[in-house]
């Protein structure tokens, strides 16, 4: 007999602007449909400092996040929601540290599963870019559904 208190009721799907976001959204959506769960689509706008260097020096660039970026992100999530053909999907655009914001949002929204993409990158790219999925994996007690989205570092150029 299935214990109904353990049923999955809400799934958080975290998306970025990577070309793999369509696959992540579709896989998370299929999981939610199979479990008859609510869906929250989340995009976190990173507020991290970006560095630029050339031959002689290194600059610290503070990225100015304007309402335009938030507006574009909201449109991106709405387009994803439209593509999934489900108007009941909640969309959220938040600013902050990506892993921390995903985890905080999952707790606040009482989600049962977090859906993330895991980009398979060469070791050097991983050092440069880090791994958000890895950070979430290390810090969460909420079950994760990881969608592999392997591509080569050169594809990013």
Q: Give the closest residue to 143 by CA, choosing from 34, 45, 26, 31.
A: 31
What is the arithmetic mean of pLDDT over 115-129? 60
Mean pLDDT of the region 22-26: 94
Give bridge partners of residue 99 from the DSSP assignment. Answer: none
pLDDT the model gives residue 64: 53
Identify the band that residue 127 occupies on the pLDDT scale cut at 50, 70 and 90: very low
Q: Is the pLDDT of residue 129 over 60?
A: no
Asked: is 8-152 a CATH 3.40.50.720 domain? The reply is: no
pLDDT tens-digit profile of 32-67?
999 999 999 999 988 665 444 454 455 454 555 456
**Which carries the bigger pLDDT value, residue 6 or residue 60?**
6
Residues 6+ apart with CB under 8 A from 13: 24, 25, 28, 29, 32, 39, 40, 41, 42, 115
């Amino acid at each position: 007999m299935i214990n109904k208190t353990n049923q999955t009721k809400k799934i958080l799907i975290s998306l970025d602007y990577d070309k793999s976001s369509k696959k992540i959204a579709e896989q998370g959506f299929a999981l939610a449909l199979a479990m008859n769960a609510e869906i929250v689509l989340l995009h976190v706008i990173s507020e991290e400092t970006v560095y630029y260097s050339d031959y002689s020096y290194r600059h610290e660039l503070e990225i100015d996040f304007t309402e335009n970026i938030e507006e574009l992100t909201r449109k991106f999530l709405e387009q994803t929601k439209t593509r999934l053909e489900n108007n009941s999907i909640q969309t959220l655009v938040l600013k902050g540290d990506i892993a921390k914001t995903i985890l905080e949002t999952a707790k606040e929204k009482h989600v049962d599963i977090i859906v993330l993409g895991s980009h398979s990158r060469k070791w050097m790219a991983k050092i440069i870019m880090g791994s958000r999925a890895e950070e979430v994996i290390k810090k969460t007690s909420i079950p994760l559904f990881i969608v592999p989205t392997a591509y080569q570092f050169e594809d990013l150029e």
